[in-house]
Amino acid sequence: MTSPSPSPVVSGVPAWRARTGACVRAVQLTLRRRRPGTAISAARELLAGVALRRGFPLPPRRVRVAGRTYIDVTIPGWPSPSFDRFVEGELERIAPTRSGPPPLHLAFLGVTRLCTLCCVHCSEGDLLRRGEALSIEDLVAISRELSSLGVVHLELTGGEPLLRIEAVEAVSRALGPPVDVWVLTSGLNLDARAAVRLRSAGVVGVAVSLDHWDAARHDAFRGRTGLFETALAAAKEAASADLVVALSLTTTRETRADDLYRYLRLAREVGAGFVRVLEPRSAGRWVGQDVALRPDQVTMLLDFARAVNAEHSDLPIVELPALTQRTVGCFGAGDRYFFVDAEGFAHACPFCRGRVGTVLGGELTSTLSRLRERGCHAFPGAAAAVLREAIRAREVEGDEEETGRARHRFLRL
């Protein structure tokens, strides 16, 4: 490798300033349409809810890129129109000002069925290497409708989305600043020119799949020799173009604690701000296989994330999406997010597969309703669990007014 890239991670005073500024902005937005008493209570619940959804304490550091500061891959950076929309969406869940279902937060959208890899865990194997089912116009229309339903963070996937970079650019330009667009990529085709194209189109970040610190093991996992170096180079080019970079690691039963720390140091060298640690699921090419981590391995991941995230350092922030599902419940299946595949069908998430309906032809709203009714295959719904706890807390405090509001929100789910 060449010399390490500068780290976008900050701690100490810069992180404190960013945290304070984001909190002040959240309070300002809370006061816009709500009475002071309701606004203060809603702001308190909003700030507490960010940590609750992660399943463990927030890190003392932040990721700063292109004038914006991030605490989580899926929470838009502050300051930005997308951050404001995120706060307003969360407030609508806490202290609603309108009827109807609460707004969405994020979505995954497949933009292509093209791919030249043969990843051992691929969840899209049955859709790949066919002609495109969705035109660029279809993708733009779907994206705009998702934004109208509250989506502020959109992750574009595939196949390999950069094999159809013109679709990525079209979607990002159509949505503009109100939505943070990310690209989930193996690193293929992400050279310096492509990184600049993404940034110019308004893409905010990329999540580059890197499944081991050892080149041979990563390449074997992805089914292509040389992809390890391609992925590292892609991450560095993305960082150089002022894109937020996350490395995405799919763990297996062979993953050890030492592997995680070596991986983290490698992520720091290529300028990643985040490391997203995914657990294996029996889906796609792994369907029907016993690949789930053992309890001691799940504990190892949690201990690793807690230790790393508690540090004041320039190491990437570690995210464990499955921890939230396991401790709080699942926010997928149309609660806060869901997945649209490259043929326009809705699924609970990229791992919990099962077509519920199409999102084309004006069917998105009715499809979402059916998706919410069915829920997540693997985990209980998170929103109901969170609100039950809120109701219990308000009852313990003897706050009848707040208890009533919490019950009202529960009934709206």
DSSP letters for 178-189: TSEEEEEE-STT
* 16 and 120 belong to one structural domain: no
User: Of 97, 125, 159, which closes a domain?
Assistant: 97
- Whether residue 14 lies inside any domain: the answer is yes
- Whether residue 31 lies inside any domain: the answer is yes
Using DSSP bridges, classify how beta strands 106-110 and 339-340 pair: parallel, antiparallel or unpaired: parallel
What are the CA-CA distances from residue 184 to residues 110, 281, 382 (Å)?
A: 10, 18, 25
* Domain range for 404: 384-413
Contact 321, 332 (CB under 8 A): no
For residue 4, what pLDDT is reported?
A: 83
Residue 126 is given by DSSP the state T
- Whether residue 379 lies inside any domain: the answer is no
* 172 and 290 belong to one structural domain: yes
Question: What residue type is 316 in one-letter code?
Answer: P
For residue 405, what pLDDT is reported?
A: 53
For residue 184, what pLDDT is reported?
A: 97
Q: How far apart are CA 330 and CA 325, in angstroms?
A: 5
* 321 and 404 belong to one structural domain: no
Q: Is 215 exposed, middle or buried (0-12, 13-18, 19+ CB in 10 A)?
A: middle
DSSP-assigned beta bridge partners for residue 154: 107, 181
- Whether residue 30 lies inside any domain: the answer is yes
Q: What is the pLDDT of residues 81-120, one digit of tens each?
A: 999 999 999 888 888 888 888 899 999 999 998 888 888 8
Across 275-286, b (16+ Cβ under 10 Å) vs e yields: bbbbbbbebbeb
Work out how many domains the chain is built from and give that number: 3
Which of 77, 59, 56 is closest to 68 using CA atoms?
A: 77
* 88 and 127 belong to one structural domain: no
Q: Which residues of the chain have pLDDT under 70?
A: 1-2, 52-55, 125-129, 377-413
Q: What is the pLDDT of residues 214-241, one digit of tens each?
A: 999 999 999 999 999 999 999 999 999 9
Residue 107 is given by DSSP the state E
* 259 and 404 belong to one structural domain: no
* 163 and 252 belong to one structural domain: yes
Question: What residue type is 398 in one-letter code?
Answer: G
* 85 and 146 belong to one structural domain: no
Q: How far apart are CA 386 and CA 24, in angstroms?
A: 24
Residue 5 is given by DSSP the state P
For residue 42, what pLDDT is reported?
A: 81
For residue 288, what pLDDT is reported?
A: 86
CB neighbours of 171 closer than 8 A, spacing ≥ 6? 109, 111, 139, 140, 143, 154, 156, 181
CB-CB neighbours of 10 under 10 Å: 19
The CATH number given to whatever domain includes residue 306 is 3.20.20.70
- Whether residue 32 lies inside any domain: the answer is yes
Side-chain half-sphere of 83: how many Cα atoms within 13 Å? 22
Q: How far apart are CA 250 and CA 111, in angstroms?
A: 22
Q: What is 290-317 written as a DSSP string?
A: --PPPHHHHHHHHHHHHHHHTS-SSSPE
* 191 and 298 belong to one structural domain: yes
CB-CB neighbours of 84 under 10 Å: 19
What are the CA-CA distances from residue 9 to residues 156, 197, 392 (Å)?
A: 24, 24, 38
Sheet of 68-70, strands arranged across = 9-10, 62-65, 68-70
* 61 and 149 belong to one structural domain: no
Q: In this structure, what token pair is assigned to residue 100?
A: 């109807």
Question: What residue type is 406 in one-letter code?
Answer: A
* 126 and 91 belong to one structural domain: no
- Whether residue 4 lies inside any domain: the answer is no
- Whether residue 181 lies inside any domain: the answer is yes
* 206 and 263 belong to one structural domain: yes
- Whether residue 3 lies inside any domain: the answer is no
Q: What is 59-126 written as a DSSP string?
A: PS-EEEETTEEESSTTSPPBSSHHHHHHHHHHHHHHS-SSSSSPPP-EEEEE---------TT-S-TT
| Element housing 165 (H / E) | helix 165-175
Question: What residue type is 317 in one-letter code?
Answer: I
* 179 and 294 belong to one structural domain: yes
